[in-house]
Structure 1
Amino acid sequence: MEYFKKILRFARPYKVYAFLNIVSNIFYALFATLAMISLFPMLAVLFKQTKPVCQKPIWQGLAQGKEYIMEYLNYFVTQKSEAGSSGDTLLFMVGIVISMFFLKNLFGYLAMYFITFLRNGVLKDLRNELYHKTITLPISFYSEKRKGDTIARITSDVLEIQHSFLSILELVVREPLTILFTIIAMLSISPKLTLFVFLFLPVSGFLISLIGKSLKRKSDKVQKEQGYFLSILEETLGGLRVIKAFNAESRFYDTFKKSTRRFYNFSNSLLNRQNLASPTSEFFGIAAIGVILWYGGQMVLVEKTLKPELFITYMGLAYQILTPAKAISKASYGVKKGNAAAERVLEILETENPIAEIADPVEKDTFEDHVSLENISFKYEDEYVLKNFDLTVPKGNTIALVGQSGSGKSTIANLITRFYDVNEGEIKIDGTNIKDLKKESLRGLMGLVTQDSILFNDTVKNNIGLGKKDATQEEIIEAAKIANAHDFIMELPEGYDTNIGDGGNKLSGGQKQRLSIARAVLKNPPIMILDEATSALDTESERLVQDALEKMMQNRTSIVIAHRLSTIQKADNIIVLQKGEIVEQGSHTELMAKKGTYKKLVAMQSLG
């Protein structure tokens, strides 16, 4: 129950609906019992079991309630019989029965009506919080997790919690109350028979509970496997071009088939165990009914201590206990399944964000002097990627980072934007440690253009407009012109309102990159980070993109991570990295004159 206690906080905004549901369930349980009890007077009239009573009975308290009801019924029937309207009496009794059943079903519907708002509200808020947590957790979290597993937690696991949430509310209110009211009515009819019945309940309850013990473990396996095959699906859709190019369809299909086979086996085991709940509880219930028929029949026919019409009513009440008992049994299994889902959801919700803000972070919306990386060291796992790295980037300067793959260039971009935190040292903007800055303020100062153009399944306008809230059409067009994107956008079927497809797959690589640049231009940040922004482009696209980048970098502080050295010859300072350390730095001309590592890199690209 510990997980459900944590999930219950999502129900607080909907406590009015919870209260109305509880009230409706109380009345449902009451009228469900009264509906069965109301059969008794009808049967008494039908079988002419009433005795003449001419004086109206007097209420003498709850202890004598049963006798009062019996006497009042006899008095009512006597009055009607004397008036010569026995048929009307029966009709009246039938009317009472119908009214009780109507009220029972009315309050049953109202209980479900109110719980719907609670269930769907919890579902909505839980998904919203999960999504919010998903986008606030650092990038490092998803380098260790499968995306499909996260998708499964937001979809199927949350849905499982929703169903279990309904079950547990019925478990604690509606069904126990129905059983309680029914037992009170049964005790009032025959304490002896009721005591006999309850000798069998602990035995059946124990046997039913044995079935549910392994459900949480089995459910956990099902949900984990679902997350795994969703991951395979997500990776397949993302890499379909590569899968087809390497004729790897059968390999991925086999992996997916193995996962769904495991899911099939786990699901069969879980559902077969779960499906055993209902017939088991019903069998024990019917066995109890059989025992009641035998023992109660003795009381009616042999001992003559129980009236036949009361015994029939008693049997109806006893059978009525079966339905809520079965519901409690099913709900308890649902809770065990939901518990596994809640554990997986809470694992994300309770994950501590290692890149957290301080209690009272500094808000900064201007960049005035310099960015400094002071003696920083960083490692993703065990081995350091950067070691004792120092760099100062004055305002208005363009700094280029070059070096072989794995030398730590992209890591510097990840650290400056605080996608990761340094292990040692400090990164400062105008003398303020970026850990002391509000993350929104820090990233508001920066624009990012990456090697992979991350675009979304939306219009050109909305993709560029991501760089600035409430951007006007004129501002978007101006940003596109600076990025050399306006001309090709106007050639698209619907211009700026054209949908570019999933990941921008309707555009070429150069077009996608220019849209990414337009997005950064529209944001108009004082610091621009370009992470190998032209490395994946052909010569023509590179020329257009490079021209766009140069226009964008004018009067701006830029940190350029370059693979193609032809793109950074105009940089104020070129930093040459090797295994996370600076081996050379200076302008293009100075580094060429040194005839060191930089010149070798240039020569390797045949650009000397």
Structure 2
Amino acid sequence: MSSFKKIVNFAKPYKKYAFLNIFFNVLYAVFNVLSVLAFIPVLGILFGKEEIVTSQPSYSGITSIYDYVQGSLNYKISQMIESGGSEKALLFVSLTTLFLFFFKNLFRYLASYTLVFLQTNTIKDIQSSMFAKYISLPISFFSEKRKGDAIARITSDVHTIQFTYLSSFETIVREPLTIVFTLISMFAISVKLTLFVFLLLPISGFIISTASKKLKASSSNFQKENGYFLSIVDEALGGLKIIKSFTAERAINSKVGKSINNLFGLMTSLKHRQMIASPLSEFLGTVTIVAILWFGGKLVLANNSTLQPQEFFGYIGLFYLILNPAKAISTAMYGIQQGSASADRIFEILETKNPIEDTVNAIDKTSFDTEIEFKNISFKYQDDYVLQNFSLKIPKGKTVALVGQSGSGKSTLANLITRFYDVDSGEILIDGVNIKNIKKESLRDLMGMVTQDSILFNDSVKNNILLGKENTTEEEVIKASNVANAHEFIKDLPSKYDTNIGDGGNMLSGGQKQRLSIARAVLKNPPIMILDEATSALDTESEQLVQQALDKMMEHRTSLVIAHRLSTIQKADNIVVLRKGKIVEQGKHEELLDRNGEYFKLVSMQSLG
């Protein structure tokens, strides 16, 4: 139930709708019971057993309210029978019953109407919180998790909460109220018969609760498999070129088919457990009714019985009034067990501790004045250190290039300076301030990044350039595009800057996508620029255009360039050669070539020497 309480915390801002729902459900429960009690006089008239009351009864306290209401109704009916006969009395009782049923259903509608606001607003907040939490978590979190599982949690699990927990709210409020008011009426009619019912109900409740516990385990397994299935589908759709080029359709179909079989096997088991709730509770209710007919019948037939036949039939009607709420509660309990599995998965994410948080005294840093320093830093992704006791200074306004074989730690330095990861030891300083003591948002505002993979979104050219800087003019967007050598191709697009570039920018070539990424970085206009192999995936012609754009962008900026193609970094102020996380050489291009060392070998391998 701890998960249920956490869901309730999300609903607290909308408690007025909950109170309105409870208020209307109380009225519904009252009119629901009265609509059944109104039939007792009808049965008395039909059986000729109506009680003739010649004087208006007086109210003597809450304990005798049933006798007072019954006596008053019988008094009214007696007057009608005397003045107009039984038919007039029957018409009056029938119209009264119709009136009661109308208000019963009106209040039921109003209760459901207010519940919708509670449900939709709560789900909106849960889903928003889930998404906000996901994008706040560090990159390392997603290297260990499947993307499909994240999508399943933020969609399937959240909607399961809506259709189980929140839909069960009304049941949990309304049906117990109906049961309470009904039981009060049943006690008023016959204490003995109601005590007999109380002996039977706990047995039914135990059987239902035992079955519902098994549902939670089935639901949890289903949600996990659903996340795995979405991950496979996402990977397959993202890698269609590779799948087709390697004619791997059969293998992928087999993998997806296996997951589908597992998924629908679990779904079948889950549905079977859900479907047993209603028939099981109905059968147990029937057993109870048969027992009541036997025991109540004996009371009616006994000599000097105070239980009249019409009251007994009214009692049966009241018990049937309990059956549906009891069945609804048992179904709701099944739903809550299913929902608790989804709630656990949701709060597993919401309660995940983010290891990369702002410190208590973190500052806003709005300028970069002197230098960046990597001071004796060490870092490992898992077991082996990628960087160990690494030190490097990057003065303001200088371009420092990092070169070396794959796995030497080049991209790791870019990930650390942006705090996508935190160092295990040592410090990264900007103007002498440890970046852990700078607010993350403030730190990243100082930096622009262009990566090897041009990460673009299914939106217009303009909105992709404006990412992270929406309050700007069209002239500034065009100026940034000119710096990035992008304006020339943008103006030839069908809708120019309003052209949608498709999923991941697939409507553009590789060079066009990269120039769009550069325009985005230029518009941000940060003092520090990080280029992570920005031209390595391009052909020669595109590389030249992109390199020209990069050269213009890096003017008067401090730049950290991670290079694969060494032709792109010959103008760098300092070229740092890395091997296994350590600096083996550093200097300008010509100096390093003259040394005939590690850099010379790298250049020779690329046939640039």
Fold similarity call, TM over 0.5: yes
Match of 1:81 in 2: 81
Partner of 1:543: 544
Counterpart of 1:445 in structure 2 is 446
**Aligned pairs, how many?**
608
1:298 is displaced (CA, Å) by 2.5
Q: What is the CA–CA distance in structure 2 between the aligned matches of 1:587 and 1:62, rounded to whole Å?
A: 97
> C-alpha offsets along residues 105-133 of structure 1, whole Å, 9 cap, x if unaligned?
11111111111111111100000000000
- Counterpart residue identity of residue 572, structure 1: D
Residue equivalent to 1:284: 284
Q: CA deviation at 1:563?
A: 0.3
Where 2:537 maps in the other structure, the secondary structure is: coil
Are the structure 2 counterparts of residues 303 and 211 from structure 1 closer, same or farther at C-alpha, using a change threshold of 3 Å?
Answer: farther
Distance 2:166 2:25 in 1: 13
**Which residues of 2 match residues 49-198 of structure 1 at below 5 A?**
49-84=49-84, 86-198=86-198
Query: 1:119–1:165: 8 Å Cα contact kept in structure 2?
Result: no
Distance 1:276 1:482 in 2: 67
* Counterpart Cα distance in 1 of 2:581 and 2:312: 88
Counterpart of 1:4?
A: 4
Deviation string 1:405-449 (CA, Å, 9 cap, x unpaired) is 000000000011111001111001111110000111111010000
Cα distance in 1 for residues equivalent to 2:593 and 2:38: 102
> What's the counterpart of residue 555 of structure 2?
554
Partner of residue 48, structure 1: 48
180 and 467 in structure 1: CA distance in 2 versus 1, 3 angstrom threshold:
closer
Report what 1:585 is aligned to: 586
CA shift, 1:300, in A, is 2.5
Deviation at 1:169, TM superposition (A): 2.1
CA distance in 1, matches of 2:467, 2:66: 74
Residues 402, 576 of structure 1: 8 Å contact kept: yes
Structure-1 residue corresponding to 2:293:
293
2:324 corresponds in structure 1 to: 323
Which deviates more, 168-177 or 354-363? 168-177
Deviation sequence 1:26-47 (CA, Å, 0-9, x none): 1111111111111112222333
Counterpart in the other structure of 2:232: 232
Per the alignment, residue 408 of structure 1 pairs with 409
Aligned to 2:257: 257
Identify the range of structure 1 (68-77 vs 280-289) with the bigger mean alpha-carbon deviation: 68-77
**Structure 2: tracts of 5 or more residues without a match:** none
1:266 correspondence with 2:266? yes
CA contact (8 A) 1:529 1:560 kept: yes
Cα distance in 2 between the residues matched to 1:412 and 1:182: 71
Alignment of 1:193-592 (within 5 A): 193-303=193-303, 305=305, 306-592=307-593
What SS does the aligned partner of 2:358 have? coil
**TM-score (norm: length of structure 2):** 0.98
Are the counterparts in 1 of residues 456 and 504 from structure 2 also a CA contact under 8 Å?
yes
SS at match of 1:361: coil
Letter in 2 for 1:578: R
How far does residue 520 in structure 1 lie from its aligned partner after superposition?
Answer: 0.5
Answer whether contact 2:585 2:599 (CA < 8 A) is retained. Answer: yes
Give 1:57 deviation, angstroms.
Answer: 1.8
Distance 2:317 2:397 in 1: 87
Partner of 1:360, secondary structure, is: coil
DSSP-derived class of the 1:41 partner: helix
- More displaced, 262-271 or 559-568? 262-271
Q: Is the 8 A contact 1:467 1:522 kept in 2?
A: no
- Cα distance per residue 1:61-86 (max 9 Å; x no partner): 22333332333233222322332354
Asked if structure 1 preserves the Cα contact closer than 8 Å seen for 2:66 and 2:185, the reply is: no
Residue 475 of structure 1 contacts residue 522 of structure 1 at CA under 8 Å; is this kept in 2? yes
Separation in structure 1 between the aligned mates of residue 498 and residue 322 of structure 2, nearest angstrom: 63
Q: Which amino acid aligns with 1:271?
A: K
Asked if 1:604 is matched to 2:600, the reply is no
Shift of 1:246: 1.2
Listed one character per residue, the Cα deviations across residues 523-546 of structure 1 (whole Å, up to 9, x for unaligned) are 111000000000000000000000
Q: Aligned in 2, Cα 1:412/1:351: closer, same or farther, shift over 3 Å?
A: same
CA–CA distance in structure 2, aligned partners of residues 304 and 34 of structure 1:
28
Identity of aligned residues (%): 60
Post-superposition offset of 1:301: 3.5
The structure-2 alpha-carbon separation of the partners of 1:267 and 1:17, relative to structure 1 and needing over 3 Å to count, comes to same
Q: Deviation per CA, 1:366-424, whole angstroms, max 9, x where unpaired?
A: 11111111111110000000111111101110000000000000000001111100111
RMSD: 1.3
List alignment gaps of at least 5 residues for structure 1: none
Which string of whole-angstrom CA distances, capped at 9 and with x for unpartnered residues, describes residues 296-345 of structure 1?
Answer: 22233454622111111111001111101111111111111111101100
For residues 390 and 415 of structure 1, the distance between their equivalents in structure 2, rounded to whole angstroms, comes to 13
Are 2:112 and 2:170, in contact at CA under 8 Å, matched by a contact in 1? no
SS in 1 for 2:531: strand
- Structure 1 runs, 4 residues or longer, greater than 3 Å off: 301-304
**C-alpha deviation, 1:453, in angstroms:** 0.2
SS at match of 1:199: helix
Amino acid at match of 2:241: R
Choose 161-170 or 574-583, whichever is displaced more: 161-170
Residues 500 and 507 in structure 1, CA contact (< 8 A), matched pair in contact too = yes
Q: Secondary structure at the match of 2:386?
A: strand
